[in-house]
Structures are given as C-alpha cells and as structure tokens.
C-alpha cells in the first residue's frame, strides 16, 4: 500500500476533507499538524487551536489513528517526515495566506527533489482564488460583480463521509499538545471563551444545525442586531476548517424556508469571506499596505492613550465599549459592531487601521488573515469596494438603531445597565438625576467620552481631504 502524509492546516476535520480522502484512497496515511512560528497566531487563536487539535486527536484515535504534532519549520518537518516513512505523496488543503503560500512553494521543491509528490486540494474556499476572473480576464475589485460570478459558477462538492477507520502507517514520534503551552496561564483570561465556544468538528456541526433551525430564515433581519443571536457564529469553525465551506453551503441551500431573503443574504456573506481571500491572494501585503496608494499620505495620529482606551473598552461611547469588551471576553465580536468599533478608531480617533487590525488579530478566535485585513481596509476607505471616506458611523445613532432596547450594551457594559433606553447610548447627554438614579457617575463609574463625536467627525473629514478626492 502507498503511504501518504496528510498535512492538516486549515482543515481540522475528518468529514468533507478531500486531502484525507485522497490519502486514504491510495493506502496508509500519517495525519500531521505543524506548529510553525511563521504563522504568527494571536493569543485567542492559539487557545482555539489547542482545543481544536485536542478534539481532532480524539476523533482520530476513535478511528485507529494518531494525530501527529510537530513544532518547527514546516518545510523541514514535512520533508523529514515524508522521507522517514517513505511517503509517495503529501496531501494538503490549498492555502491562501501569504506565509503558507511561500511555505508551499518551498515544500513542493524539497519534496520534488526527493521524488515525492505534493498535491493540494480545494478545501478552505469555494474556488481557487485565481479562478474567478472578469470577462476581460482581469481581477475583480468590487464585491457585487464578484458575488454574481461566484453564484453562477459555484457548485458545492458532494459530501465526503468521515472514514470509519483510518489506515495509518503506525507509531510516529509526536509532540505532546500540552508541551506547546498554547493556553493562557497567568492570568487565565479564557473563561469567557470557554463559556462561549466548543472548538472542534462536533462543535461546528452543532453550531450549524442550531443556526439552520433558529437563525437562517430571519438572518437578513436579525444579523445586524447584536443583542440577539441572529448570526451563525460559524466564522471560527470555518476559519480553522472544522467544517467545510461546501458543507455549510449545501446545508443552507437545501433548507426549505418560508422566506428566501435570509438564506440568500447568508450565502452572500459566505461569498464575502471568499472575496476577502481573493483580495489577499492578489495583494499579499493586504494586512499592512493600503490598496489605494494615496492613503500612504494619510495624516494618522500617534495616540497611544486613545488606542489603549479603545482596546480596553473604556472610550465612554457605550456601543464601542460593549463591542471591545465582547471581543476581550469571548474572542469574537458581532459583525455590525465590528464596523462601528473600527470606524470609531480610524475615523473619530484617526488611529491607523493597522493598529486595529493587529489588535483584532490577537483577540479574535476567528482571526483570518484575509477577512481581518480586507474588512479593516474597507472601513478605513483604502481597500477594495471600500466605504467612502465621508461614511463615518455615528456610534450613538448606530446603537440606537441596532441595539434599541440596549440588551447588548447592558450585557457587556453592566455599569450602565440601569439607565433608561433613551439615555443608554449617550449617557453624557442624560440629566444628572437620571444618571444618579441609575448609579452612574461619569468620570468615575463610567468614563466620559474621550472625544466629542462631532469634532472627531470634522477632524476625520479634514484629514481625508488632504489626500485628495480619490479617497472617495
């Protein structure tokens, strides 16, 4: 029987895994995950990775195989392991992250020199990022025509059942997961993450089933309401590949709903994820360099105190603070609030979007190189299909519109919980008796705003005008 390496990266699952299926079709396999320092994962991602690998290892063991863990340079690890077992082929899911693309080129060259094949399979995305082209054979820079092309071209792969047994090569030396020390210890800040998430393939399946039953039909109406559970919360499971994009699309598309709008908008959101990966594929510096060149001259502020207040959720703007505290507590933030908090940082505070992108990268359990960077550039106005510079979210109006009963703010900013709805999103405008009756003392129990919103907006508009009309 032929021996293969199945190199798991962003496909930490057994079902709907084309790399695993290809390896098992050929014979015996070794399943390996490499902890490569080049990945640069943040703290929340490492927490998720620990629990996802633990779950996958249990699933492998139940099928007679071991998940081999190795830490180090991916090229050296995969080349050595493939050579030591006499592998004919290394199978892996295709990657869109720049660091993994570079690694793949080096791995392919090293394996070729040894006469070992390297096959990459579509696993994390709907398409190979180079496949979707405009009618003039160009690259899309606007989401809407890109999404139409995806709707027309995508046919999800049929289901691939998880193997009942995994024919494995045998005992292979492996690191112990605990020795990697991926979990926080002193202090242990992950209590909220543990309460919110179940990493692993089973958790992904449960999350999808719940969303299809409870959330899909009204997704278009409820996805913007952070006080409700109107989103799928599948993003970390999709990012780590605990569930295949094909499986999510198949399941959602086959739901018989009374209203089609919810399903359609959800599928469009899956394509937005695809668009972000597409942008990163064609712009490898997306996390650092603005796609619009004129933004290199943007007069950003060096404002460490403002950045720190934003990170800690003590800006004095309730919807912003609620979002930043949700991020810290749960490793995730509601999609609407991500836009509000990002706009506040880069426009009202004029702090570079790269600083926000880096903070989200460290704090999000779904920290995806493509989606994180593309979304920050969109909010900042310097990315593809970006919001125009004069679109500056008013966080008070956003809070009143999308959190009208204050459920979200009251959950994550409990010191304001007793305020009436009319005062909750702008407590600095409330009469003193209202504040006193709710036990709120501005500047003591809750901070005053770190910036006047009108002044911040005017400063942002003036700054954007200095780099020219092309900012629009």
pLDDT tens, residue by residue, 114-143? 999 999 999 999 999 999 999 999 999 999
- Do residues 199 and 236 lie in contact, with contact meaning Cβ atoms separated by under 8 Å? yes
Say yes or no to pLDDT of 70 above 60: yes
Q: Mean pLDDT throughout 396-406? A: 98
- Residue 407: CB atoms within 10 Å: 12
Q: Extract the tokens encoding 69.
A: 């863990």
CA 439 to chain centre: 37
Q: Mean pLDDT throughout 35-60? A: 97
Confidence of residue 406 (pLDDT cuts 50, 70, 90): very high
The overall pTM is greater than 0.85? yes
Helix, strand or coil for residue 28?
A: strand
Q: Is the peptide bond before 181 cis (omega within 30 degrees of 0)?
A: no
Confidence of residue 471 (pLDDT cuts 50, 70, 90): low
Q: Mean pLDDT throughout 321-336? A: 98
Which pLDDT score, from 0 to 100, does residue 469 have? 53
308: part of which helix (H) or strand (E)? Answer: helix 304-312
| Structure letter (DSSP) for residue 446 | B
Helix, strand or coil for residue 35?
A: strand
Q: Mean pLDDT throughout 201-217? A: 96
Which pLDDT score, from 0 to 100, does residue 458 have? 97
Which pLDDT score, from 0 to 100, does residue 172 have? 94
| Least confident piece of the model among 16-20, 149-153, 230-234, 389-393 | 389-393
Task: Give the residue among 438, 400, 395 at the shortest CA–CA distance from 417.
Answer: 438
Q: Report how far residue 211's alpha carbon sits from residue 318's, in angstroms, rounded to the nearest whole number.
A: 28
Among positive and negative, which fits the CA dihedral 100, 101, 103, 108? positive
Q: Is the peptide bond before 187 cis (omega within 30 degrees of 0)?
A: yes
Which pLDDT score, from 0 to 100, does residue 397 have? 98
* 344 Cβ neighbours under 8 A, 6+ residues apart: 310, 315, 317, 320, 393, 395
- Do residues 67 and 60 lie in contact, with contact meaning Cβ atoms separated by under 8 Å? yes
Helix, strand or coil for residue 6?
A: strand
- Do residues 353 and 372 lie in contact, with contact meaning Cβ atoms separated by under 8 Å? no
- Do residues 393 and 306 lie in contact, with contact meaning Cβ atoms separated by under 8 Å? no
Q: Mean pLDDT throughout 39-58? A: 98
Q: Mean pLDDT throughout 392-409? A: 97
Helix, strand or coil for residue 364?
A: coil
Average pLDDT, the chain: 96
């Amino acid at each position: 029987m032929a021996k293969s390496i199945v190199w798991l990266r962003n496909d930490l699952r057994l079902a709907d895994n084309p790399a695993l299926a290809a390896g098992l079709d050929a014979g015996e396999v070794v399943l390996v995950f490499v902890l490569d320092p080049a990945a640069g994962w943040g703290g929340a991602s490492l927490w998720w990775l620990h629990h996802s690998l633990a779950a996958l290892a249990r699933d492998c063991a139940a099928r007679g195989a071991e998940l081999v863990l190795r830490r180090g340079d991916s090229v050296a690890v995969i080349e050595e392991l493939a050579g030591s077992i006499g592998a004919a082929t290394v199978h892996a899911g295709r990657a869109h992250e720049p660091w993994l693309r570079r690694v793949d080129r080096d791995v392919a060259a090293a394996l070729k020199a040894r006469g070992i094949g390297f096959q990459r399979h579509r696993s994390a995305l709907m398409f190979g990022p180079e496949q979707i082209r405009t009618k003039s054979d160009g690259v899309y820079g606007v989401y809407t025509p890109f999404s139409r092309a995806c709707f027309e071209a995508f046919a999800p792969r049929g289901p691939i059942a998880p193997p009942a047994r995994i024919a494995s090569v045998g005992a292979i030396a492996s690191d112990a997961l605990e020795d990697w020390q991926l979990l926080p210890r002193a202090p242990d800040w992950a209590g909220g993450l543990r309460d919110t998430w179940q990493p692993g393939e089973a958790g992904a399946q449960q999350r999808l089933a719940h969303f299809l039953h409870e959330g899909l039909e009204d997704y278009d109406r409820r996805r913007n309401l952070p006080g409700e559970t109107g989103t799928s919360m599948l993003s970390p499971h999709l990012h780590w590949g605990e569930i295949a994009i094909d499986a999510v699309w198949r399941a959602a598309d086959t739901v018989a709903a009374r209203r089609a709008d919810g399903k359609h908008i959800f599928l469009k959101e899956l394509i937005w994820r695809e668009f972000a990966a597409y942008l990163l594929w064609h712009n490898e510096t997306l996390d650092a360099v603005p796609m619009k060149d004129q933004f290199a001259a943007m007069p950003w502020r060096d404002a460490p105190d403002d950045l720190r207040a934003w990170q800690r959720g003590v800006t004095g703007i309730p919807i912003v603070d609620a979002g930043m505290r949700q991020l810290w507590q749960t490793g995730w933030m509601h999609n609407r609030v991500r836009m509000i908090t990002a706009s506040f940082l880069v426009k009202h505070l004029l702090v570079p979007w790269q600083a926000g992108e880096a903070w989200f990268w460290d704090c999000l359990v779904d920290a995806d190189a493509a989606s994180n960077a593309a979304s920050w550039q969109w909010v900042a106005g310097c990315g593809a299909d970006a919001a125009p510079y004069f679109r500056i979210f008013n966080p008070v109006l956003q809070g009143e519109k999308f959190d009208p009963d204050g459920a979200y703010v009251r959950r994550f900013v409990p010191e304001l919980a007793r305020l009436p709805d009319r005062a909750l999103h702008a407590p600095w405008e409330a009469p003193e008796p209202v504040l006193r009756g709710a036990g709120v003392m501005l500047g003591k129990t809750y901070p005053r705003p770190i910036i006047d919103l009108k002044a911040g907006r005017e400063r942002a508009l003036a700054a954007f005008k200095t780099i020219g009309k092309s900012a629009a």
